[in-house]
Amino acid sequence: MDFALLDWVAIVGYFLILFSLAVWVILRTKDTADDYFLAGRNLGWFVIGASIFASNIGSEHIVGLAGSGATDGVAMAHYELHAWCLLVLAWVFVPFYMRSKVFTMPEFLERRFSASSRWVLSLISLVAYVLTKIAVGIFAGGVVFGALLPELHLDLGFVDLDSFWVGSIIVIVLTGLYTVLGGLRAVAYTEALQTVILVMGSALVTFFGLRALGGWEALRETVGSEMFNLWRPLVPEGVDGTWAPVRETGRMAWYFNDNYPWIGMLFCAPIVGLWYWCTDQYIVQRVLGAPSERQARRGSICAAFFKLLPVFIFIIPGIIAFALAKTGAVPAMKAAMFDANGQLLRDEGQKAFPLLVAHVLPAGVRGIVVAGLLAALMSSLAGVFNACATLFTMDFYDKLRPGASQHQLVWMGRVATGVMVLIGLLWIPVIRGGKGLYDYLQGVQAYLAPPIFVVFFLGVFIKRVNAKGCLAALITGFAMGLFRLAVDTPVKLKTGFSYAEGSFFWVVNNTFFQYYSLLIFLVCIAVMLVVSYMTAAPSYERLQGLTYATLTAEDRRQSRASWNYVDLLVTGVVLAIIATAYVYFRG
């Protein structure tokens, strides 16, 4: 990309503001665990909402979701319309979390079940972050640099790093500077700024992209109605639903459909959504930093509003990129995304957003968007670094060293961040071999989310489930997820590797990831209920305030006093927007 002077001014100016804000926050950060990991429990509702949104949309959404829009249309919009999951966080879980005053989600699980459950969930969460958020965030930074500055490289003598690796390293270093020093407070405040810039910049990408194409109607005519269909058929075109593979299409029967069929989106996607938005440390940590239940709830509702935006600022630009490349309106985009026979190169779809920035935006605007793009990648990594540090320090180190000082806890959190970054780098080749960034992320999350979803939701709604049932469900679900990852990894790592057609491992590898996730979910529910009811009931006195059945009258009164009818009205507006989107995007 040939940057104009205005572009460089915008980029440099933005980062000066960003790091000035970070320094201002860092200078006010105290050397205590409460301040470093939870911002002193003093975050306002807007900062909470904007921080949740910025962390969520960082890497996988900008690069991966736009790429998914270019290859699969609005199919992935189901995940973005899960803004209603944030309303479940606001109205169902926030009261329990705020009353418990915990640092981490595993700590809450310990209070509800046992210390063993806490250790297992902490381990699952750290593994999940390594497999998804850390590695994918680093990878996305490399993709952005590769598309925007393809000629960039660094020759170290023993190795010549291309723009992909240079970009990944730069993103890590810059992010690590303010994350390690400032903790959650620095992360949250910088993310609030990044949200404003990113939303504005991405909206400009949609605007100029549509203008280059000729408007909304021209977009629909170019790509066809199927790209705007949320409800994909169970059986792909040309498949009769039998067990036998259909070699003409390279696909299996409906249960091996890789086109995001509606049954998977309807039953599996909400499992991942509710786990992510309601029980994942990466997201909920911002809510735990609120001073009160009212601020925590309103922050969650605010995040739900922001969560509706990616459909229009990431998925739609991806579809626009596909249309511009398909029509040849932008020759460079067609050359990058289509082969000589006019077929879309699926693996190149993840370059859709940076290609739009490079070839459609005018000078000045392009610089703002690039700055917001890189800053959002950094915000996603900053959030997960801080979450990893909190999990490791409070759930492992603090337990092993109960006499550790506040300074030692903060220091260990910084060390944990550096270790997680190094591990994440090792996973980049695995992700790079996949068919798409967002596909990879959703696949791994779908394997790891069900057991966590089950133990939290059953734990809050059914007081009879006990620690043994929780532990059995976590271990069973985690084992099933790791088994699927172990089966899939060789296929991703080795070019041309595949299992013998029709063999057990081949069936597992080719089963659509959402269906496998649903299987894990059902197995975990059965395991938790059976084991719980076959063993002794928990002590209900110890569970006071941790389940709906054990709430006191005072608990209910305080929770009711924390909201009013304005909160209900805003919640209703969010639900109405979601319903409207589902009606409109039906092909």
Q: Which residue has the higher pLDDT, 483 or 586?
A: 483
Q: Cβ neighbours of residue 27 under 8 Å, at least 6 residues apart?
A: none
pLDDT tens string 516-531: 889 999 999 999 999 9
The three-class DSSP label of residue 241 is: coil
Quick one: average pLDDT of 58-80? 77
Torsion 519-522-528-534 (CA) sign: negative
pLDDT at residue 59, as a whole number: 57
pLDDT at residue 4, as a whole number: 78
Quick one: average pLDDT of 159-181? 73
pLDDT band for position 257 (50/70/90)? very low
Q: b vs e for 200-214, b when ≥16 Cβ sit within 10 Å of the residue's Cβ?
A: ebbebbbebbbebbe
pLDDT at residue 232, as a whole number: 66
pLDDT tens string 285-335: 889 889 999 999 999 999 999 998 888 888 888 899 888 888 888 888 888
pLDDT at residue 527, as a whole number: 97
Q: pLDDT averaged over the chain?
A: 81
Biggest distance spanned by C-alpha atoms of the chain: 71
Q: What are the beta bridge partners of residue 251?
A: 246
Report residue 191 CA to chain centroid gap: 15
Q: Which residue has the higher pLDDT, 16 or 39?
A: 16
The three-class DSSP label of residue 229 is: strand
SS (HEC) of 404-449: CCHHHHHHHHHHHHHHHHHHHHHCHHHHHCCCCHHHHHHHHHHHHH
Q: What are the beta bridge partners of residue 161?
A: 154
For 472, other C-beta atoms within 10 Å of its C-beta total 20
Number of domains in the chain: 1
Mind giving me the DSSP string for 442-468? HHHHHHHHHHHHHHHHHHHH-TT--HH
Cα separation, 69 vs 266, whole angstroms? 19
pLDDT at residue 295, as a whole number: 94
Residue type, 539: S
Using the structure block, give the residue that is written with the tokens 């069929």: 261
β-strands 154-155, 160-161 pairing: antiparallel
pLDDT at residue 55, as a whole number: 79
Quick one: average pLDDT of 138-152? 68
Cα separation, 98 vs 288, whole angstroms? 7
Q: How many angstroms separate the Cα of 583 from the Cα of each of 124, 422, 497, 586?
A: 37, 45, 42, 6
Cα separation, 217 vs 81, whole angstroms? 23
Quick one: average pLDDT of 452-468? 94
Residue type, 5: L
Q: Cβ neighbours of residue 24 under 8 Å, at least 6 residues apart?
A: none
pLDDT band for position 243 (50/70/90)? very low
Quick one: average pLDDT of 494-512? 80
Cα separation, 125 vs 284, whole angstroms? 13
Point out the least confidently predicted range of 79-88, 261-270, 490-499: 490-499
Point out the least confidently predicted range of 265-269, 348-352, 439-443: 439-443
pLDDT tens string 479-492: 998 898 888 878 76
**pLDDT for residue 343 is more than 70:** yes
Quick one: average pLDDT of 419-433? 64
Point out the least confidently predicted range of 203-207, 351-355, 548-552: 351-355
How many helices (H) and strands (E) the chain has is answered by: 31, 2
SS (HEC) of 363-416: CCHHHHHHHHHHHHHHHHHHHHHHHHHHHHHHHHHHHHCCCCCHHHHHHHHHHH
**pLDDT for residue 253 is more than 70:** no
Cα separation, 455 vs 92, whole angstroms? 15
The alpha-carbon radius of gyration of the chain (Å, integer) is: 23
Quick one: average pLDDT of 525-550? 93
Cα separation, 265 vs 270, whole angstroms? 7
pLDDT at residue 252, as a whole number: 42
For 428, other C-beta atoms within 10 Å of its C-beta total 17
* CATH of residue 178: 1.20.1730.10
DSSP state of 160: E
pLDDT at residue 411, as a whole number: 82
What does the block give as tokens for 88? 């479940």
Q: b vs e for 326-364, b when ≥16 Cβ sit within 10 Å of the residue's Cβ?
A: beebbeebeebbbeeeeeeeebbbbbbbbbbbbbbbeee
Closest CA to 194 of 422, 383, 329: 383
Cα separation, 109 vs 105, whole angstroms? 6
pLDDT at residue 425, as a whole number: 66
pLDDT at residue 148, as a whole number: 66
pLDDT band for position 471 (50/70/90)? very high
Structural domain of 374: 5-584
Closest CA to 27 of 183, 143, 198: 183
What does the block give as tokens for 148? 């925007």
> CA 102, 106, 111 angle in degrees (round to 5)?
65
pLDDT tens string 77-130: 877 888 999 999 999 999 999 988 888 899 999 999 999 999 888 888 887 777
